[in-house]
């Protein structure tokens, strides 16, 4: 049973904020589709596959960086905020992609990396020439201590000190990530102006919004105080052993975000979703989206860093978000280009990882939560984390932490399009990262042939979801149930939907309130017995 026509008409008229409750498909350009046979995905490849993305029933495409870059961090080290790297194509190719996406009814949002640049960016090249040039203060330069050591104990996410000595300036510069990614001094109003100008360039070109990378790294403590230790973090990588109260999360970040929001409000229908990591990511996500002058939405790393899927993990992440006038709007993702894929991270056995029902379950659960949803490429087929041998690793973080983590390369390998083809149809030549042999079984073409595949299940669920405004923008209230059963009610305009999911690997018992079944996930129905990794959505009477 669908929502009646009057409800849908009301929803359409009031939903000028299209992003609220939208499903956004993340494309990692290097690994999506290679159109010119060089082993690297590109903009023309994405354009050629937009029909597939649109067929899923998603609302928008998020493109990870395609800007000019030396690719030390594979695009997140930007050398020109307004240029397209030749490996991906040209500005004309981007315009073609944008026009095709809009023609298919898809919005397009792009990454903006405002916390740092590449050391090859013209701004940094000028800044490092001396202390008196026009861009001398565009980055964070600091004199050494009397003994020649760095100014404080701040550490890089990618291992080692967050400071690198530059012989030209005879000073240290700050980099929270790679040494080739110097941090911009966003405290400087001229830097803010330049970043606002870059955002305006893409808004004028027609993009529908931004995903803002590492937002809480935009500004640091000007007194450069040492970070205190984080208790109980022995054995982790060094960065995780500090409490990052001074190298990030400065209160003045909010002022810059308000400037950015002010620009975006001059372009109707645009929005920004922030990426916010760290130990306070959930609290900062709520703070950075509060009111109507900051960002519209943000996602934390609560799910991305969760080692297990459980009722408390879901409830703690969702219930933390306030639901009142002026409160921000949450976004959620289970997987992305920076964290191992959820089907591998949360699978309790090899059999569960390979079970298509598990992928169907995770996608349905994610898309039932109150918020906007980011689906990472490959999630539509339940793609598992790729096994990349050490000699093929390219990600500096994966190499530095080998073999302690699954790394980022395993989640960035090429999308398999056709089973049995060289490199699963991604490219005619050896790609930049290898295709896991197991991934041929997950090829898009193979899923298209199977009506029971996760691909078809996702299409069916998103079509159902679009007909239920309560699932798009309604409130959420959790009910008590014995774990591992998760239950909540989504409600809007008097229509109340009971959502029930068995997160466990065994059949579970649950007798809920009387309700009319609307949608079944993995054959679950109301009535007391829930199969493993299953669920249902029903209308409360």
User: What would the DSSP string read from start to end of 471-519?
Assistant: HHH-EEEEE---TTEEEEEEEETTEEEEEEEE-SSS-EEE--S-EEEEE
Predicted pLDDT of residue 406: 67
Quote the distance between the C-alpha of residue 358 and its chain's center: 21
- Cα separations (Å) of 469 from 3, 135, 252, 368, 520? 8, 50, 37, 11, 18
SS3 label, residue 139? strand
**349-387, pLDDT tens digit by residue?**
999 999 999 999 999 999 999 999 999 999 999 999 999
Residue 4's pLDDT is 42
Find out whether the peptide bond into 403 is cis, omega within 30 degrees of 0: yes
Asked if 148 and 165 touch (Cβ cutoff 8 Å), the reply is no
Amino acid 13: pLDDT: 33
What are the residues whose beta carbons fall under 8 Å from the beta carbon of 265, sequence distance 6 or more? Answer: none
User: What burial class does residue 45 get, using C-beta atoms within 10 Å of its C-beta: 0-12 exposed, 13-18 middle, 19+ buried?
Assistant: buried
Active-site entry in 208, 275, 355, 409: 275
pTM value? 0.95
Rounded to whole angstroms, the Cα distance separating 353 from 375 reads 18
Residue 12 has a pLDDT of 37
List of residues 6+ apart from 5 with CB closer than 8 A = none
What own/partner pairs with CB < 8 Å and gap ≥ 24 does 355-359 have? 355/533, 356/382, 356/452, 356/453, 356/454, 357/522, 357/533, 357/534, 358/382, 358/533, 359/454
Cα–Cα distance, 69 to 81 (Å, whole number) = 9
pLDDT of residue 235: 61
Q: Which of 213, 287, 338, 353 is catalytic?
A: 213
**DSSP output for 421-475:** SGGGGS-SS--SSPPPGGGGGG-HHHHHH-TTSHHHHHHHHHHHHHT-HHHHH-E
* Per-residue model confidence (pLDDT) at position 338: 93
Rounded Cα distance between 365 and 485, Å, is 12
Q: How many residues does the chain have?
A: 541
- Whole-angstrom CA distances from 17 to 14, 40, 65, 329, 461 are 8, 35, 25, 11, 22
CA quadruple 61, 64, 68, 71: dihedral, nearest 10: -150
Helix, strand, coil shares, percent, the chain, to 5 = 30, 20, 50
Q: What is residue 525's DSSP assignment?
A: -
Pairing of strands 67-68, 80-84: antiparallel
> In the block, which residue shows the tokens 């029902």?
357
The structural domains of the chain, ordered by start, are 17-115+189-463 (3.20.20.80), 118-185 (3.90.400.10), 473-540 (2.60.40.1180)
Cα 394 to the center of its chain, rounded Å: 21
Cβ-contact 297, 287 below 8 angstroms:
no
CA atoms within a 13 Å half-sphere pointing along the CA-CB vector of 365: 29
Rounded CA separation 498/513 (Å): 9
User: pLDDT by residue for the chain (541 residues), tens digit each?
Assistant: 334 444 433 333 345 799 999 999 999 999 999 999 999 999 999 999 999 999 999 999 999 999 999 999 999 999 999 999 999 999 999 999 999 999 999 999 999 999 999 999 999 999 999 999 999 999 999 999 999 999 999 999 988 999 999 999 999 999 999 999 999 999 999 999 999 999 999 999 999 999 999 999 999 999 999 999 998 876 668 899 999 999 999 999 999 999 999 999 999 999 999 999 998 999 999 999 999 999 999 999 999 999 999 999 999 999 999 999 899 999 999 999 999 999 999 999 999 999 999 999 999 999 999 999 999 999 999 999 999 999 999 998 888 778 776 679 999 999 999 999 999 999 999 999 999 999 999 999 999 999 999 999 999 999 999 999 999 999 999 999 999 999 999 999 999 999 999 999 999 999 989 999 999 999 999 988 999 999 999 999 8
- Taking each helix axis from N to C end, the angle separating 454-466 and 356-366, rounded to the nearest 10 degrees, works out to 20
pLDDT, tens only, 37-88: 999 999 999 999 999 999 999 999 999 999 999 999 999 999 999 999 999 9
Active site includes 213? yes
Nearest-10 Cα torsion for 104, 109, 110, 111? -150
Q: How far is CA 174 from the centre of its chain?
A: 25
Asked whether 420 and 439 are in contact (CB, 8 A), the reply is no
| Residue 317: closest CA among 336, 335, 330 | 330
Spatial contact of 244 and 281, defined as CB atoms under 8 Å apart: no
Q: How far apart are CA 31 and CA 412, in angstroms?
A: 7
């Amino acid at each position: 049973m669908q929502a009646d026509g009057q409800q849908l008409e009301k929803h359409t008229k009031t939903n000028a904020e299209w992003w609220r409750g939208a499903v956004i498909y993340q494309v990692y350009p290097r690994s999506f589709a290679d159109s010119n046979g060089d082993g690297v995905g590109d903009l023309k490849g994405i354009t050629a596959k937009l029909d597939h993305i649109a067929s899923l029933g998603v609302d928008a495409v998020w493109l990870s960086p395609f800007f000019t870059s030396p690719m030390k961090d594979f695009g997140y080290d930007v050398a020109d905020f307004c240029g397209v790297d030749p490996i991906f194509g040209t500005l004309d190719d981007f315009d073609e992609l944008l026009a095709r996406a809009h023609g298919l009814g898809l919005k397009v949002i792009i990454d903006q990396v405002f916390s740092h640049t590449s050391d090859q960016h013209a701004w940094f090249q000028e800044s490092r020439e001396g202390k008196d040039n026009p861009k001398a203060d565009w980055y964070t330069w600091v004199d050494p201590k009397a003994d020649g050591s760095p100014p404080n104990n701040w550490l890089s996410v990618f291992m080692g000190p967050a400071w690198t000595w530059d012989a030209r300036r005879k000073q240290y510069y700050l980099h929270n990530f790679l040494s080739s990614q110097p941090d911009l001094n966003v405290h400087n109003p001229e830097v803010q102006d330049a970043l606002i100008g870059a955002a305006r360039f893409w808004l004028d070109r027609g993009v529908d919004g931004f995903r803002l990378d590492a937002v809480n790294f935009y500004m640091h403590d000007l007194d450069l105080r040492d970070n205190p230790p984080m208790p109980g973090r022995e054995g982790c990588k060094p960065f995780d052993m500090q409490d990052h109260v001074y190298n990030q999360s400065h209160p003045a970040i909010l002022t810059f975000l308000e400037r950015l929001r002010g620009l975006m409000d001059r372009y109707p229908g645009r929005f920004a979703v922030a990426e916010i990591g760290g130990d306070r990511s959930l609290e900062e996500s709520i703070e950075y989206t509060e009111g109507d002058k900051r960002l519209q939405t943000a996602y934390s790393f609560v799910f991305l860093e969760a080692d297990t899927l459980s009722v408390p993990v879901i409830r703690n992440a969702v219930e933390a978000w306030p639901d009142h006038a002026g409160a921000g709007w949450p976004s959620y993702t289970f997987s992305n280009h920076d964290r191992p894929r959820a089907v591998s991270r949360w699978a309790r056995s090899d059999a569960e990882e390979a079970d298509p029902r598990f992928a169907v379950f995770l996608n349905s659960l994610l898309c039932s939560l109150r918020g906007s949803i980011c689906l990472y490429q490959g999630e539509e087929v339940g793609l598992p984390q790729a096994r990349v041998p050490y000699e093929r690793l390219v990600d500096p973080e994966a190499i530095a932490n080998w073999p302690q983590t699954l790394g980022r390369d395993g989640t960035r390998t090429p999308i398999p399009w056709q089973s049995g083809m060289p490199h699963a149809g991604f490219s005619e030549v050896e790609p930049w990262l290898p295709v896991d042999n197991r991934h041929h079984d997950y090829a898009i073409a193979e899923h298209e042939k199977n009506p029971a595949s996760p691909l078809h299940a996702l299409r069916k669920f998103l079509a159902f979801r679009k007909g239920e405004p309560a699932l798009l923008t309604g409130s959420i209230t959790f009910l008590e149930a014995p774990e591992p059963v998760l239950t909540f009610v989504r409600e809007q305009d008097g229509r109340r939907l009971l959502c029930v999911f068995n997160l466990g690997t065994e059949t579970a018992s649950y007798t809920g309130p009387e309700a009319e079944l609307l949608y079944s996930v993995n054959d679950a129905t109301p009535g007391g017995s829930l199969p493993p990794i299953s669920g249902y959505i029903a209308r409360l009477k």
